[in-house]
Amino acid sequence: MTTNFSRFEGTEDYIVSEDLRNSVNVAVALSKPLLLKGEPGTGKTLLAQSIAKALGLQLIIWNIKSTTKAQDGLYVYDTVQRLYDTQFGNKDVSDIKQYIKLGKLGEAFTSEQQVVLLIDEIDKADLEFPNDLLWELDVMNFHIPETSETITAKNRPIVIITSNAEKELPDPFLRRCIFHYISFPEADMMEQIIKVHYPDLENTLLNEALKAFYWIRSQHNLHKKPSTSELLDWVQALSAGGISPDHIYQELPFLGTLLKKNQDFDTILRRVHNRGTGENQQTGTRIFRNW
């Protein structure tokens, strides 16, 4: 039996590993949300864009913040506007429909074409947020009591959900997802990613930058490890600044591009300084190694 679904093969501006590509296709074929987990900068958000592009579908992005409620994704009933209109407006306030505004999920459901719906950074929201969405994602419809309307998905959207793993997600939610963990890219994959963005970058500069970058990442106790985005900015700065490759690892020029927290900046400077004297050679092992 051949299954009938569009296959995601990747796009030229996105480097995708084979098992990630498989996970995408499994999720699409089974009509399950694909949950992507991985530290920031591992290309989770970009993957959703790449999928939409490869399959020629519209992308709808729902950015989750700490204050986002599941309801926001369905619809909001603008009671305040309606109240205002009863007092000052000349609209027909009995037509409640005009005060119902669909959220991103509602938008995805009502779209004439199948869409890719990205629920970005779901872990930012309240611990219970994912559970509140279970029903709608399962049955692909929801009811608006104010207008006695039921919004049903015309085409089941391809749902991509990302998490930076700041919070654990609830089990009932997880059970319904296809899960993929994107590990932080190793140096050779990272090299490819950089080349996608800066195809003309000089090789020695790239290699030195990668060496320095992975050294910094291996240091323990950083508050925020530099990620792909910062590395991309950094190599651009290095290249634009005409930095000679043999100074990169020794001196870490433009370090501020990589490390945004002052404490991290100081920690690394101190360790670069000690690197030569052989005092501080250890790299990032487990945090509680010495307990």
Ligand X SMILES: Nc1ncnc2c1ncn2[C@@H]1O[C@H](COP(=O)(O)OP(=O)(O)O)[C@@H](O)[C@H]1O
* CA separation for the pair 68, 64 (Å, rounded): 6
Q: Which of residues 211-240 bind another protein (CB under 8 A)?
A: 220-221
Q: Which residue from 53, 91, 156, 176 is in contact with another protein, where contact means CB under 8 A? A: 176
Q: How far is the CB of 127 from ligand X (least distance, A)?
A: 21
* CA separation for the pair 153, 71 (Å, rounded): 16
Q: How far is the CB of 24 from another protein (least distance, A)?
A: 10
How far from the centroid of its chain's Cα atoms is residue 53's Cα? 16
Nearer to ligand X, 125 or 193 (CB): 193
**Interface with another protein, residue 177, by CB under 8 A:** yes
Closest residue to ligand X, Cβ-based? 43
DSSP string, 112-145: SS-EEEEEETGGGS-TTHHHHHHHHHHHSEEEET
Q: How far is the CB of 46 from another protein (least distance, A)?
A: 20
* CA separation for the pair 56, 76 (Å, rounded): 29
Nearer to ligand X, 68 or 99 (CB): 68
Q: Which of residues 83-122 bind another protein (CB under 8 A)?
A: 83-84, 86-87
Structure tokens at 97: 């429909």
DSSP one-letter code for 169? P
Binding site for ligand X (CB under 6 A): 14-15, 38, 40-46, 162, 193, 196-197, 228-229, 232
* Amino acid, res. 81: Q
Binding site for Mg ion (CB under 5 A): 45
Out of Mg ion, ligand X, another protein, none, what residue 283 binds, judged by CB under 5 to 8 A for its kind, is none
**Interface with another protein, residue 82, by CB under 8 A:** no
Q: Which residue from 65, 145, 276, 291 is in contact with another protein, where contact means CB under 8 A? A: 291
Contact 270, 283 (CB under 8 A): no
Closest residue to Mg ion, Cβ-based? 45
Kindly report the backbone phi and psi dihedral angles of residue 115, in degrees, each rounded to the nearest multiple of 5, phi listed first.
Answer: -125, 165
Contact 153, 108 (CB under 8 A): yes
**Interface with another protein, residue 67, by CB under 8 A:** yes
The span of 1-9, 53-61, 189-197, 241-249 binding another protein (CB under 8 A) equals 1-9
Out of another protein, ligand X, Mg ion, none, what residue 116 binds, judged by CB under 5 to 8 A for its kind, is none
Beta bridge pairs of residue 180: 36
Q: How far is the CB of 177 from Mg ion (least distance, A)?
A: 17
Nearest to 71 by CA among 8, 21, 146, 16: 146
Strands (E), 3-114: 34-37, 58-63, 75-77, 100-102
DSSP one-letter code for 43? S
Nearer to Mg ion, 45 or 228 (CB): 45
Q: How far is the CB of 154 from ligand X (least distance, A)?
A: 28
Kindly report the backbone phi and psi dihedral angles of residue 74, in degrees, each rounded to the nearest multiple of 5, phi listed first.
Answer: -85, -70
* CA separation for the pair 234, 257 (Å, rounded): 6
**Interface with another protein, residue 29, by CB under 8 A:** yes
Pairing relation of β-strands 149-152 and 141-144? antiparallel
Residues of this chain that bind another protein (CB under 8 A):
1-3, 19, 22-23, 26-27, 29-30, 32, 35, 37, 66-67, 80, 83-84, 86-87, 127, 166-169, 171, 174-181, 183, 220-221, 267, 270, 287-291
